[in-house]
């Protein structure tokens, strides 16, 4: 599909959306993402090596091998592998001896904010920039108080934050910075790998990520002092058989997960290039569609194409994000509303003074307009074309789609009454 397909003549010839015709364009669910699987032989050999050694966890050979490969690839002083990104975030914050308040974004996965709360710290929500979707640094500066000890910005959808602005603010106010880089594997910004900014950065290697270990994550940072602190906290704070030096937890990655990571490591470049091609294909057809907006990517960046997001401007598109989401579901396209609801709207946080919607206008607007479309390396080009067609068909028949969504909602409320 090309931009010619968005002309009014070709739009008129589109098959009606499934919500109206009853026939979905996809017979099977089209997932948001599908994890890469490794070459079976290589993976089997790695697993066999674990069985031979009978060493499954606790500083095993494969975890070390993976950490070394990642440290090299991510260009950081150290890389400590974790059982998941959430625990990695908890430990990263813990390792910096923070107190009081941590300023963060509400436009993120709940894990970001939970990690602050689990450390007994208070999250303070800061609004985002409406173009980049990242923490608005000038707003963050206004929120810094005597109680603030750190900033926890997120490179959301892999788009680098205003790292120089954040650096400056942190330096001026004596703050630590932990970047949640869960989406930003392999991104390079201003000539530096993304994990080189801030005090520490955290990656997620969950199965839904560009590079994954099934479950997994990592803390990366500059030097051996931080490596030691983070590694101790990851293993209960145990120094040796006679000494426990801190309130650690069990954040270790197992050898089985490391084996998956090692086997997938060689496929990362292929995965990124495939996503890049598919992103270009989406863009060719969707970039000029009235009523769709796109995240403004930070300049001077080598991106990783981790996500493909669209922002729906209801008045110009003819449908709200939620209506389009329902229309896509009817086509069996499982697009996702990342990140809705905002973390500031979640029960544990919604009573915080900083969570008031009036203080977070950009984040609240975006959370009601954002949609992530399927993107992963093994996604077929024809499938991308069909997903595009689903979006365009819904738009072309917007008034009828809207009426059908309202009818369904009415029926659903009737049947649950
Ligand atoms: N910080 C940020 C900014 C994050 O986004 C995340 C996690 C974290 C921190 C925490 O990192 P971890 O502790 O998770 O390492 C998913 C992931 O579970 C989560 O890792 C991720 N962010 C978040 C953005 O997405 P769900 O609940 O939306 O995932 P789920 O199960 O609905 O799966 C999404 C799609 O992937 C579905 O279409 C099905 C498909 N899928 C999923 C899995 C697990 C597969 O095809 N195979 C699979 O094995 O949270």
Location of structure tokens 């066999």: 48
Q: Report pLDDT for 22.
A: 86
Q: What is the rounded CA–CA span in Å between residue 277 and residue 300?
A: 20
If we measure between CA atoms, which residue out of 267, 204, 262, 215 comes closest to residue 50?
Answer: 262
Q: Report pLDDT for 14.
A: 85
Atom from ligand 1 closest to the CA of residue 339: 24
Cα 49–271–178 angle (5° rounding)?
85
Beta carbons within 8 Å of 228's beta carbon, 6+ residues apart: none
Residue of 38, 133, 160, 206 with the most ligand 1 atoms within 8 Å of its CB, for mutation: 206
- The CA 78 to ligand 1 mean position distance, Å, reads 25
Q: What is the rounded CA–CA span in Å between residue 140 and residue 122?
A: 15
**pTM for this model (two decimals):** 0.96
Pocket around ligand 1 at a 6 A CB cut-off: 31-35, 84-86, 108-109, 111-112, 154, 180, 182-183, 204, 206-208, 217, 334, 338
- The CA 92 to ligand 1 mean position distance, Å, reads 20
What's the rounded mean pLDDT across residues 209-220? 98
Atom from ligand 1 closest to the CA of residue 204: 15
What's the rounded mean pLDDT across residues 369-392? 98
- The CA 209 to ligand 1 mean position distance, Å, reads 7
- The CA 258 to ligand 1 mean position distance, Å, reads 19
| Atom 26 (ligand 1) nearest CA | 208
If we measure between CA atoms, which residue out of 238, 233, 230, 153 comes closest to residue 197?
Answer: 153
- CA 242, 243, 247, 250 dihedral sign is negative
Residue of 26, 81, 108, 109 with the most ligand 1 atoms within 8 Å of its CB, for mutation: 109
Atom from ligand 1 closest to the CA of residue 215: 15
Q: What is the rounded CA–CA span in Å between residue 210 and residue 90?
A: 22
- Cβ distance 29 to 308 under 8 Å? no
Half-sphere exposure of 208 (CA within 13 A, CB side): 11
- Cβ distance 182 to 85 under 8 Å? yes
Half-sphere exposure of 307 (CA within 13 A, CB side): 25
- The CA 13 to ligand 1 mean position distance, Å, reads 37
Q: What is the rounded CA–CA span in Å between residue 246 and residue 243?
A: 10
Q: Report pLDDT for 9.
A: 61
Res 340 pLDDT > 90? yes
User: How does DSSP classify residue 336?
Assistant: B
Q: What is the rounded CA–CA span in Å between residue 19 and residue 301?
A: 40
**pLDDT tens string 190-200:** 999 999 999 99
**pLDDT tens string 11-64:** 667 899 999 998 999 999 999 999 999 999 999 999 999 999 999 999 999 999
Q: Report pLDDT for 350.
A: 97
User: What percentage of the chain's residues is helix, strand, coil (to nearest 5)?
Assistant: 45, 15, 40
Q: Report pLDDT for 299.
A: 87
End-to-end Cα, the chain, rounded Å:
44
- The CA 109 to ligand 1 mean position distance, Å, reads 9
Question: At 122, phi and psi to the nearest 5?
Answer: -105, 120
Q: Report pLDDT for 141.
A: 98
**Could you give the C-alpha distances from 321 to 25, 127, 315, 372, 412, in angstroms and in order?**
20, 21, 11, 11, 19
Cα 187 to its chain centre, rounded Å, is 13
Beta carbons within 8 Å of 117's beta carbon, 6+ residues apart: 123, 348, 349
Report residue 46 as tokens.
Answer: 């790695």
- The CA 82 to ligand 1 mean position distance, Å, reads 16
Atom from ligand 1 closest to the CA of residue 33: 36
Location of structure tokens 């769709």: 292
| Atom 50 (ligand 1) nearest CA | 208
- The CA 121 to ligand 1 mean position distance, Å, reads 25
**pLDDT tens string 257-316:** 999 999 999 999 999 999 999 999 999 999 999 999 999 998 899 999 999 999 999 999
- Cβ distance 98 to 176 under 8 Å? yes
Residue of 35, 208, 346, 383 with the most ligand 1 atoms within 8 Å of its CB, for mutation: 208
User: Pairing mode, if any, of strands 176-180 and 122-125?
Assistant: unpaired
**Gyration radius (Cα) of the chain, Å:** 23
- Cβ distance 370 to 311 under 8 Å? yes
- The CA 14 to ligand 1 mean position distance, Å, reads 33
Half-sphere exposure of 261 (CA within 13 A, CB side): 32
- Cβ distance 366 to 128 under 8 Å? yes
- The CA 146 to ligand 1 mean position distance, Å, reads 35
Cα 345 to its chain centre, rounded Å, is 19
**pLDDT tens string 146-204:** 999 999 999 999 999 999 999 999 999 999 999 999 999 999 999 999 999 999 999 99
| Atom 11 (ligand 1) nearest CA | 85
Q: What is the rounded CA–CA span in Å between residue 218 and residue 269?
A: 19
| Atom 49 (ligand 1) nearest CA | 207
**pLDDT tens string 102-139:** 999 999 999 999 999 999 999 999 999 999 999 999 99
Residue 320: count of CB within 10 angstroms of its CB: 17
Please report which helix (H) or strand (E) contains residue 141, including its range: helix 137-143
Q: What is the rounded CA–CA span in Å between residue 52 and residue 34?
A: 31
Q: What is the rounded CA–CA span in Å between residue 142 and residue 137?
A: 9
């Amino acid at each position: 599909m090309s931009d010619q397909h968005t002309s009014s003549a070709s739009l008129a010839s589109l098959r009606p959306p499934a919500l109206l015709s009853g026939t979905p364009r996809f017979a099977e669910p089209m997932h948001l993402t599908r994890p890469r699987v490794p070459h079976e032989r290589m993976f089997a050999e790695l697993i066999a090596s674990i069985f031979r050694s009978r060493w499954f966890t606790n500083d095993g050979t494969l975890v070390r091998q993976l950490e070394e490969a990642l440290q090299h690839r991510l260009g950081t002083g150290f890389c400590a592998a974790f059982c998941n990104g959430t625990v990695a975030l908890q430990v990263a914050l813990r390792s910096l001896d923070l107190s009081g308040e941590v300023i963060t974004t509400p436009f993120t996965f709940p894990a970001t904010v939970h990690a602050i709360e689990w450390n007994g710290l208070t999250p303070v929500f800061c609004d985002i920039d409406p173009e980049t979707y990242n923490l608005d640094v000038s707003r963050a500066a206004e929120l810094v108080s005597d109680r603030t000890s750190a900033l926890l910005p997120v490179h959301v959808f892999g788009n680098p934050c205003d790292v120089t602005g954040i650096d400056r603010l942190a330096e001026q106010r004596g703050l630590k910075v932990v970047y949640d880089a869960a989406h930003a594997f392999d991104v390079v910004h201003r000539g530096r790998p993304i994990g080189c900014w801030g005090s520490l950065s955290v990656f997620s290697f969950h199965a839904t990520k560009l590079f994954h270990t099934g479950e997994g994550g990592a803390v990366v940072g500059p030097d051996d002092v931080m490596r030691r602190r983070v590694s101790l906290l990851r293993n209960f704070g145990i120094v040796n058989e006679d000494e426990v030096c801190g309130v650690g937890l069990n954040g270790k990655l197992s050898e089985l997960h490391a084996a998956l990571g090692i086997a997938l490591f060689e496929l990362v470049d292929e995965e990124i290039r495939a996503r890049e091609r598919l992103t270009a294909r989406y863009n060719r057809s969707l970039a000029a569609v009235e009523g769709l907006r796109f995240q403004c990517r930070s300049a001077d960046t080598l991106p990783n194409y981790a996500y493909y997001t669209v922002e729906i401007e209801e008045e110009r598109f003819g449908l709200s994000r939620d209506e389009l989401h329902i229309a896509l579901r009817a086509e069996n396209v499982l697009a996702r509303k990342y990140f809705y609801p905002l973390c500031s709207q979640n029960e544990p946080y919604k009573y915080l003074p900083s969570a008031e919607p009036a203080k977070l206008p950009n984040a609240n607007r975006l959370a009601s307009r954002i949609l992530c479309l399927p993107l992963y390396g093994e996604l077929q080009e024809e499938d991308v074309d069909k997903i595009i067609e689903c979006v365009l068909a819904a738009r072309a028949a917007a008034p009828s789609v809207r009426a059908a969504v309202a009818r369904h909602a009415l029926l659903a409320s009737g049947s649950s009454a």
